[in-house]
Chain A
Amino acid sequence: MNKIDRRKFIKSAGLAGGALSLAGAAGAGYSAGADKDSYTGYGRTNYGEDQFFNRKPFIVDNPTYVKKGEPVRITAVEDIFKRNGMLSRLMFSRGDIEPAWKPADGIDALPGQLRDYYKANPGALEEFIKAMEKGRAQRANWEKYRDKYFIADAWSTAHSSPIRGRGAFPAEPRDRPEKSDFRGVNKVKLEPKSPSHASELIKKICYSFGASLAGIAKVKKEWVYQGSLRGVGREDYEVPSHWKYAIVIAVPHEWDSMYANPTYGTSYDAYSKLRFIAGKMEVFVKELGYSSRPHVPPTSYDLVMPPLAIDAGLGEQGRNGILITPELGANTRLAAVTTDMPLEPDKPIDIGVSRFCEKCKICAEECPGGAIDFSDKAETVVRGYKRWKIDQNKCFTIWNSVATSHARGCRVCLSVCPYSRKNNWVHSFAREVDPRDPTGLVASGLLAMQKKFFNYPGGQEYLPPPDGNNRTFGEAPEWMKTDEWFKI
Chain B
Amino acid sequence: MFSNSNILGPLFWIIMGVLYMVFITGLVVWLKDLNIKMNWWKWSLVLLWFILLSIIIAGGFTLIGENEMRAGLLFIAVPGAVMIVAGVALSRFLFRNRHEKQNN
Contacts and interface: CB of A to CB of B under 8 A. Distances in A.
Interface of A: 7, 10-18, 20-22, 24-36, 38, 256, 259, 422, 424-426, 449, 452-455, 474-475
A35 B54 contact: no
A377 B61 CA distance: 36
6 contacts: A14-B22, A29-B60, A30-B64, A30-B65, A32-B58, A422-B66
A29 B61 contact: yes
Contacts of A449: 75
B13 to A, nearest CB: 8
Contacts of B16: 21, 24, 28
B54 A25 contact: yes
Interface in B52-68: 53-55, 57-68
B58 A29 contact: yes
B79 to A, nearest CB: 10
A10 B57 contact: no
B103 interface: no
A28 B19 contact: no
Given A14-B25, A17-B22, A24-B12, A33 B30 contact: no
A434 to B, nearest CB: 16
B19 A33 contact: no
Given A32-B65, A33-B61, A33-B65, A17 B70 contact: no
B20 interface: yes
B26 A22 contact: no
Contacts of B22: 13-14, 16-17
Given A14-B23, A30-B61, A453-B75, 12 more contacts: A10-B26, A10-B29, A18-B19, A24-B12, A26-B58, A29-B57, A29-B58, A29-B61, A425-B62, A426-B62, A449-B75, A474-B68
A25 B57 contact: yes
Contacts of B57: 22, 25-26, 29
B67 A15 contact: no
B74 A7 contact: no
B51 to A, nearest CB: 10
A28 B26 contact: no
Contacts of B54: 21-22, 25
- Provide the main secondary structure of the chain B interface: helix
A31 B65 CA distance: 6
Interface of B: 1-3, 12, 15-16, 18-27, 29-30, 33, 50, 53-55, 57-68, 70-72, 74-75, 78
Contacts of B61: 25-27, 29-30, 33
Contacts of B19: 17-18, 20-21, 24
Nearest to B17: A21
Contacts of A455: 70-71
Nearest to A26: B61
Nearest to A477: B67
Contacts of B63: 33, 426
A31 B75 CA distance: 17
Contacts of A256: 67
A34 B23 contact: no
A13 B68 CA distance: 34
B59 A17 contact: no
Contacts of A21: 16, 19-20, 23, 54
Contact of B15 (A22, A24, A33, A426): A24
Nearest to A28: B58
A17 B15 CA distance: 10
B68 A454 contact: yes
B46 to A, nearest CB: 11
A449 B55 CA distance: 16
Contacts of A32: 1, 58, 62, 65
A7 B29 contact: yes
B70 to A, nearest CB: 5
Given A455-B70, A474-B67, A33 B62 contact: yes
B57 to A, nearest CB: 5
Contacts of A7: 29, 33
A419 to B, nearest CB: 15
B5 to A, nearest CB: 12
B33 to A, nearest CB: 7
B26 A35 contact: no
A38 to B, nearest CB: 8
A465 B60 CA distance: 34
A474 B53 CA distance: 27
A11 B65 contact: no
Contacts of A18: 19, 23, 26-27, 50
A454 B62 contact: no
Given A24-B12, A24-B19, A475-B67, A14 B58 contact: no
Contacts of A11: 26, 29-30, 33
